[in-house]
Structure 1
Amino acid sequence: MDNSVIKTNPSVSSDSIKMQERLSIFLALIAGYIDATGLIQWKTYVSFMSGNTTSLGAALSTDKSEIIITSVTVISSFLLGIYAGTCLSLLKRIKNQILTFYLVSGILIFYSIISYFYNINNLLSIAIIGFSMGMMNTIVTSVGNQKVNTDFVTGTLNSLAKNTAMLSMTKDKVEKEEYRFNAIHLLLLWIGFLSGAFIAPFLLDYFGKWTLIFPALLLMTCELLISKINTKN
């Protein structure tokens, strides 16, 4: 995904763009938190599919069946989550964006409650959380006209470097402002993901089996932000 140069859409208010920016950073923090939690608990990524694809390729050449099964499961579940979230987004936009928030937070809460009383198989855990991460990935796909992906860190860093390079090379004031906006947002998006991954180990030690309640509550908070965006647009 190349989100390096996107012009600002004049039909979108600056307040809405700012709200979308905050929401995307918030979602990146949640993605980083859940991804780090998955890595610690199940030794696999639940949103970083580049890492899982690399693991799958290496495992195929070395016949490590456990890694192959885990990687195929999480990648398939993530894709199914994106499919489901995209289908919802193609229906009535406002209602179903909010519905996706509730579905993802509901999955996380339901999983936390069940896992507290019963031991859930690691493979099933990976499938459930991977599916929810895929759905979450479809909630915010742009800030204004700038395409974003809240858990695609490689693409974010790639676009950040490109925008920074174009900012330093252009002499046009309008272009400079656009590149500066893009670069700052992409940097904040990366910091959001990094921050989520940073706090995950601490909260995992503190909350234990209830650790996914934290991102579920954050998603409910995000729903308030998306409601404001929809009210203003």
Structure 2
Amino acid sequence: MKKLIISSTSIINLSESIRTQERLAIFLALIAGYIDATGLIQWKTYVSFMSGNTTSLGAAISTGKSGIITTSITVISCFLLGIYTGTCLSLWKRIKNQILTFYIVSGILIFYSIIAYFYNINNLSSIAIVGFSMGMMNTIVTSVGNQKVNTDFVTGTLNSLARNTAMLTMTKDIAEKKEYQSNAVHLLLLWIGFLSGAFIAPFLLDYFGKWTLMIPALLLMIYGLLISKINTKN
């Protein structure tokens, strides 16, 4: 009986943990979509979609467009540096959770927005700063349950969605069907989150102008504080 109670409690905790991961992943995907669309509109460059920047880099090298080459290399390098930094923070034994990454990314965006309001920051510096913050943000959530996810770009998300859907339709095992269905739902919601963020960015950009990145910055700060309070209570 005791073992059954422990087992049931573990299952409930695991289920709640997965739901928390899912909500956080969708939230971060929405933020990433918003900032990526903002970067595309303002600087004609993706700040989190590195597949598009890699394609642009390859085409620019063959056509000799030095401006695009410089921009693409800068944003890709800073995005990778952001992932490296975020991963190192997540592996640092003195840090017990990912809350610090929330605050760092939020702080970068807030600091950038304030400086950009009073001074003109060139496009190259802008994409370097924002690209670095997007790389860091991509390390906050790397999986939902057993399903690996990327919150900053959708190519891998759509690939995994199609694969899980295919496996769902092909398998006859009930347990596998539940797992693939759950994964497919997580991935679909993640894609919708990114799409929604990209959808609302142009409207808010027209309204808030240079303060547009303060919105995701404050949302990240608030979400980080909420998670911190929940962790403290637990």
Report whether the alignment pairs 1:65 with 2:66. Answer: yes
Q: Assess if the C-alpha contact under 8 Å between 1:12 and 1:144 holds in 2.
A: no
Change in 2 beyond 3 A, CA 1:175/1:227: farther
Matches within 5 A, 1:24-103: 24-92=25-93, 95-103=96-104
Provide the aligned C-alpha RMSD in A: 1.9
Rounded to whole Å, the distance in 1 between the matches of 2:145 and 2:226 is 15
Residues 16 and 84 of structure 1: is their aligned pair in 2 closer, same or farther, counting only changes over 3 Å? same
Q: Is the 8 A contact 1:38 1:46 kept in 2?
A: yes
Normalising to structure 2: TM-score of the pair?
Answer: 0.91
Match of 1:13, SS?
Answer: helix
- Answer yes or no: is 1:114 the counterpart of 2:122: no
1:130: how far off?
0.4
Paired with 1:81 and 1:104, the residues of 2 have a C-alpha distance of 10
**Larger CA deviation: 90-99 vs 73-82:** 90-99
**SS of the residue aligned with 1:92?**
coil
Q: 1:141 to 1:97 in 2, by over 3 A?
A: same
Which residue number corresponds to residue 185 of structure 1? Answer: 186
Taking CA–CA contacts closer than 8 Å with sequence separation of 6 or more, which of the two structures ends up with the larger relative contact order? Answer: 1
For 1:167, the aligned partner's letter is L
Structure 1 or 2, whichever has the larger Rg, is 2
User: Which position in structure 1 is the counterpart of 2:165?
Assistant: 164
Match of 2:196 in 1: 195
TM normalised by structure 1 equals 0.91
How many residue pairs align between the two structures? 225
Residue-by-residue CA offset, 1:93-116 (whole Å, 9 max, x unaligned): 754511110000000000000000
Alignment check: 8 A CA contact 1:164 1:183 kept: yes
Cα distance, 1:93–1:202 mapped onto 2, change above 3 Å = farther
- Contact 2:89 / 2:95 at 8 angstroms: preserved in 1? no
5+ unaligned residues in a row in structure 1: which ranges?
1-8
Q: Per-residue CA shift, 1:80-139, capped at 9, x if unaligned?
A: 111111110111375451111000000000000000000001100010000000000111
Structure 2 CA distance for aligned equivalents of residues 141 and 176 of structure 1: 23
Change (3 A) 1:171 1:36: same
Q: Name the aligned partner's letter for residue 176 of structure 2.
A: E
Seq. identity, %: 85
Query: 219-228 or 154-163, which moves further after superposition?
Result: 219-228
Distance 2:230 2:94 in 1: 12
User: Quick check: 119-128 or 89-98, which moved more?
Assistant: 89-98
